[in-house]
Amino acid sequence: MSSKWIWPFELMEKLGEGGMGVVYRGRYVGNNRIVAVKILPDDVAANENLVARFDREIEILKQLKHPHIVNCFGGVCESKQRFYAMELVEGGTLADHLQKRGRFTWDYVIEYGLQMCSALDYAHQRGVIHRDIKPGNFLLTKSGQIKLSDFGLATMIAAARITRAGKTAGTFQYMAPEQIQGKPPLSNRTDLYALGCVFFELLTGRPPFEAENPAAVLHMHLKELPPRVITFCRDCPPELDQLIADLLEKNPDNRPESASVVAQRLDGILRPSRMGIDPFGHTAHDVVTPVAAASSTHDGDGEVVNAELSTLHRRLLYLAWNTSIILLVFTAVLWRQSSYWHQQAESWEKAWISAAYGTDYTLQLAALGELGRHGPLGPAAESTVAGGLSSTQPPVRVAALQAMERQPGTLRKYMPQVLKMHQQDENDAVRAQAEKTHDALKKVSSGGVWGMISTSFLVLIIAGIMAAPWLIIEKPWLRRWKSRPRPLVPAPSSARHLRSAP
């Protein structure tokens, strides 16, 4: 491992470490794909039970291909080093997000719960019991998609290989009573109990049972009734509160039959809120908003007065906005050109052009140098610099070429003449300088990196300004924000009912 390679993967930084392995970010040399590589450490590999559990995890993951289960690409045993590669999920775990946010609103919990149930139902139908359902084993993609991971404790119902070793293994805050007692066989309802604990924690920010030590928590799972979610989360729909209570039943037979049944109940809670009905039975028509009131007013003829701008008005605004932008850009270009002629030509250009055409050899060199140092050049200055190329004095030709090298943007049209000097001039210094100048002119003629960047930046600015009326008038961002799922506040009668709930 000192070489940071475990063929065919190049190992990068460590992503996490636990009792069942170390996870690295890895690069597959076959196609440079970035994956997660889980490795069983050498000290853990000495434990036969843990090795068997690791091998079983590989075997199970290779059988499970589902959008809400981490995809496994295969495992290898190389020189007693066990590892496998899986897809890299970089959005963090649900436990990480819970720690940052404190708790989730009930609608988010239902959305996540539907994805969790989809993954569990797929695994359960194939005889796989996860046995370690917890927020830390649900990964989130950057787009918010749930991925179930870590099947190290999973068992195959049809052919369980490890029966006694670690039969009570799991995370104590989420273990079902039958799992704590080690009563075989475990079933899909064992995972559903843990799922109820996860729902409870996501809604309240704490697991259903808390104590000073794990033994006390395990005893509470076995003997005590769990608290109701609604006592901690007053905006939780009663149906969701009852579903979690059913999932946390001590007797597995009293829990929902399957993850698909849980998903149906979750969808039944969420569907009315999408249709404008809150979980407490009140429709959206019971509430009259100011916008609705404004749009329902009538004029003298009895016609509805539209509170929004008409389509014609919007089109006129778009036309006026775009016309003003075009005029603004055109005015800016004219202003730049006029300011150039007034500020540059009048201040220094005339003086140096006059000196460049004089008979003083020293002043000619100085004038060409100054013309190259200041820019952009006007037509008269361009012709002066170009005239220096035909001078009989090699130093003057060199000075003219140097001026062109400093001003390639305005003098690139002389590139053929410069190339000819590089190939045919009798003076070595002139030929060398002509080569450098030709390279500079060639870069500008091909566009140049800065030219492309500045052009792209200008296009983005203009596009943003032209899109502004649509964003301001149509308000698509506001519509998306208003249509986002939000917890609905119960009516006063429901609130009184909640206060009296156990």
447 pLDDT above the threshold of 70: no
Quick one: pLDDT at residue 340? 55
Which pLDDT tens digit goes with each residue over 351-386?
777 777 766 767 777 777 777 676 666 777 777 777
Catalytic residues: 132
Please return the burial class of 446, using the count of CB atoms within 10 Å of its CB with bins 0-12, 13-18 and 19+. exposed
Answer yes or no: pTM beyond 0.85: no
CATH superfamily of 5-86: Phosphorylase Kinase; domain 1 (3.30.200.20)
Confidence band, pLDDT 50/70/90 cuts, at residue 252: very high
Quick one: pLDDT at residue 342? 57
Quick one: pLDDT at residue 178? 92
Quick one: pLDDT at residue 116? 96
CA 109 to the chain's CA centroid: 21
Which pLDDT tens digit goes with each residue over 128-138?
998 899 999 99
292 pLDDT above the threshold of 50: no
Which pLDDT tens digit goes with each residue over 168-212?
567 889 999 999 988 767 889 999 999 999 999 999 999 999 998
Please return the burial class of 87, using the count of CB atoms within 10 Å of its CB with bins 0-12, 13-18 and 19+. middle
Residue 99 in tokens: 């720690």
Do 5-86 and 90-157+169-298+459-502 show the same overall fold?
no
Please return the burial class of 472, using the count of CB atoms within 10 Å of its CB with bins 0-12, 13-18 and 19+. exposed
Confidence band, pLDDT 50/70/90 cuts, at residue 218: very high
50: three-class secondary structure by DSSP: helix
Domain extents in the chain: 5-86, 90-157+169-298+459-502, 342-446
In 3D space, the residue among 282, 223, 176 whose CA is nearest the CA of residue 495 turns out to be 282
Share the mean pLDDT of the chain: 75
Confidence band, pLDDT 50/70/90 cuts, at residue 227: very high
CATH class of 90-157+169-298+459-502: mainly alpha
Work out the number of other CB atoms within 10 angstroms of the CB of residue 197: 25
**Top mean-pLDDT range of 75-79, 170-174, 231-235:** 231-235
Quick one: pLDDT at residue 472? 63
CA 126 to the chain's CA centroid: 33
Q: Which of 29-43, 79-93, 156-170 has the lowest average pLDDT?
A: 156-170
Q: Among residues of the chain, what percentage have pLDDT more than 70?
A: 67
24 pLDDT above the threshold of 50: yes
